[in-house]
Structure 1
Amino acid sequence: MAQFDDTAKRRIRFQTRRGLLELDIVLKRFMAEEFEQLSDEELALFVDILALEDQEFLAIVNQYEPSPRADFEPLLQRIRNAKA
């Protein structure tokens, strides 16, 4: 299991800057509300989620498309809840 130090967390924060305004807004709220509470396991999943293309990521967050991985769903739900 990866250990996420401050440098790794800064890289993740940078990766949340996306090309779609809607995704930026959702992620900004999630980062403010939830990011610091994420475990290393959740951070690893978040990195995998951030690897998705913007359009796919937004469609999954908005539940227009199903998640490509079942283990993403709890974290995606936290992202969705932060956007409300």
Structure 2
Amino acid sequence: VNSNLHKKAYFLSRRGLQELDIIFKPFVEERFEALSDKDKLSFLDLLQKDDVDLIDWLLNGTPVPEDFNNIATQIKLYLNHEEK
């Protein structure tokens, strides 16, 4: 089951927008397996959202809906760590 979730996450992370591909593809490759099952499902739900919303939430500082707070925080921490 977990390998199916990983495959689905990898497939959905390929957005076609460079800004999001730079975020999601490495996150899936490096961090997805370490997420809790709840966070994996939250991540998959997040990937179902519109690209514009994802950019706003993850890059532009727009408040993230409560359902995605935890996974968005993990993604942002990952991004901050990778930039150093």
TM-score by length of 1: 0.81
Residue equivalent to 2:62: 65
**CA contact 1:18–1:24 (8 Å) conserved in 2:** yes
Identity of matched residues, % = 32
Indicate the structure with greater helix content. Answer: 2
Please identify runs of 4+ aligned residues in structure 1 that moved more than 2 A: none
Paired residue for 1:37, among 34, 39, 54?
34
Seen in structure 2, the aligned counterparts of structure 1 residues 54 and 79 have a Cα distance that, compared at 3 Å, is: same
**Conserved in 2, the CA contact under 8 Å of 1:23 and 1:58?**
yes
**Bigger RCO of structures 1 and 2 (CA < 8 A, at least 6 apart):** 1
**What are the ranges of 5 or more consecutive residues in structure 2 without an aligned counterpart?**
none
Pairs aligned (count)? 80
What are the ranges of 5 or more consecutive residues in structure 1 without an aligned counterpart? none
What TM-score do the two structures reach when normalised by structure 2? Answer: 0.81
CA-based RMSD? 1.5
